[in-house]
Structure 1
Amino acid sequence: MCVFDIASLKHRLEDDADWWSIPDAELAEVNRGNVAFLNLGSDGKYSFTFAEEVQCPQVEVNLRVPSGRLFAGAAEEVTAEAFEPEAARGGMFIDIQPGEYTLRVSRDGNEISLSLHLAHGSNRNEFDSLIRI
């Protein structure tokens, strides 16, 4: 699963469709605050909801939101090969005020809860490894 502002990955439009499956490339974009890739461990049916607040988040990711148009959904829809997300695999678009945000995430089985909050500080992240929830 991934969450990102459409404008944050424009530089990936001409990349190979699987650019995000290369761990170093994925981690670099996450640490730049361009995208939150949430590795779920296996394929399957997952549902997600955006809430006002996520209690006991398992992970927090800082995100740059330059356009205010966020996509949340399957990582297979991430920007690449001249395509941008269409929310064709159950994903969704969210329109919010542009800015710097912190995405808080928790998971209970196949249910994923997300919340967005204006960030206080850097929009970068300092993950040493890929995010797994």
Structure 2
Amino acid sequence: MAIEFDVVTDTATLAVFDLQAIRHRTSDTFDWWSIQSDEISEMNEGNIAFLNLGADGRYQVKVVDNLVAPSGGVYLKVPSGQVFIGAGEDTSGGGLEPDGSDAVQGEFISLEAGSYYMGYKVEDGGICLAFSPSNKFRNALTDSIRLGA
């Protein structure tokens, strides 16, 4: 799997999630995840990954089979097999969820339903992600994930 696309974000955040795993937040406020305790709680449950990029802007995202020396990783639940990778502002909430329309900044990728370890790192100016099947889905984060300054 080698997928490349650009994402423009006004929240300096890349979000990665299966819509089914985070659907319980759809009726919450659109910016529920800006409350750090909510962000970390959902990441620790494996429902979503938020990668803080350090600045707003356009980012190239590369989904690859393997990462050599990732800078970090998180476990994720993928109950439906459809994973959204996109701008933080397109996270499910406020009665909305990513729908593939032109207004949404991101892409859906297909994985087999299950749990995954998502490794990440910044390389050659792009955000590289790799998904490996895992039996785990919970994380033990105490702070946000920061890829940028």
TM-score, normalising length: structure 2: 0.84
Report the CA distance shift for 1:90/1:110 in structure 2 as closer, same or farther (over 3 A): farther
Report the equivalent of 1:73.
Answer: 86
Could you tell me which residue of structure 2 aligns to residue 102 of structure 1?
Answer: 117
- Give the number of the structure whose residues are more often strand, by fraction: 2
Percent identity between matched residues is 38
Match of 1:25 among 38, 43, 54: 38
Matched residues in 2 for 1:11 and 1:109: separation?
36
Gaps of 5+ in 1: none
2:123 & 2:141 partners in 1: Cα distance?
A: 22
Shift of 1:54: 1.1
User: What is the deviation of 1:11?
Assistant: 0.4
Using the TM superposition, give the Cα deviation of residue 109 of structure 1 relative to its aligned residue in structure 2, in angstroms. 6.5
* 3-state SS in 2 of match to 1:113: strand
Partner of 1:131: 145
- AA aligned to 1:114 is L
Provide the residue aligned with 2:56 in structure 1.
43
Residue ranges of structure 2 left out of the alignment (5+ in a row): 1-13
Report the 3-state secondary structure (helix = DSSP H, G, I; strand = E; otherwise coil) of the residue aligned with 2:146: coil
Instruction: Indicate whether 1:3 and 2:16 are aligned.
Output: yes
- The change in CA–CA distance for 1:80 and 1:99 in structure 2 (over 3 A counts) is same
Which of 85, 93, 107 is equivalent to 1:92? 107
Contact 2:30 2:95 (8 Å CA) reproduced? no
Deviations 1:72-108 (A, max 9, x none): 0101000001111134343100111100100010113
